[in-house]
Amino acid sequence: MKIGELARRTAVSERSLRYYEEQGLLAAERTPSGHRTYPERAVDRVIRIQELFAAGLCSGKIVELLPCMRDEDGGPSEAATPWLVADLTRQRARIDQQIAELMRTREVLDDVITAASGPPSPTERPATLAVSDA
């Protein structure tokens, strides 16, 4: 498939796909005229790359990680190094910390929403609509 079709099917810009190729995250064949073509499995690869970026990993770490992830055949092609596993464990701890912080923030917002939604104080009057005598 051509780069435009891959971009449409993955909702990733052509520019990003070119960047992925430059970084070694994605491989493309070239036609005799120089156009990029991608195999069908590139769709899953791009989606996986997007998920890893969303998890906060940089392209260099993703390049290390992709060969260790399960392929279409169900098994990883390479074993992860102990250093990669340690780094990924740290990344996961960072994500867990961010989740905990977001949950605390959500609890604070819930408290504010509850307090703001409480019954009106006796000094507050409900808004009334002006009615003309015409």
Element (H or E) spanning 36, and its range? strand 36-37
132 CB neighbour count, 10 Å cutoff: 4
CA distance from start to end of the chain: 70
Burial of 38 (0-12, 13-18, 19+ CB in 10 A): buried
Please give the Cα distance from 52 to 125 (Å, whole number): 53
Q: What is the pLDDT of residue 119?
A: 73
The CATH architecture of the domain made up of 1-78 is Orthogonal Bundle (1.10)
| Every domain of the chain and the residues it spans | 1-78, 81-117
- 49 residue type, one letter: I
Residue with tokens 């939604």: 117
Residue with tokens 């991608």: 38
Tens of pLDDT, residue by residue over 23-77, are 999 999 999 999 999 999 999 999 999 999 998 888 998 998 888 876 554 445 6
Tens of pLDDT, residue by residue over 102-125, are 999 999 999 999 999 877 666 655
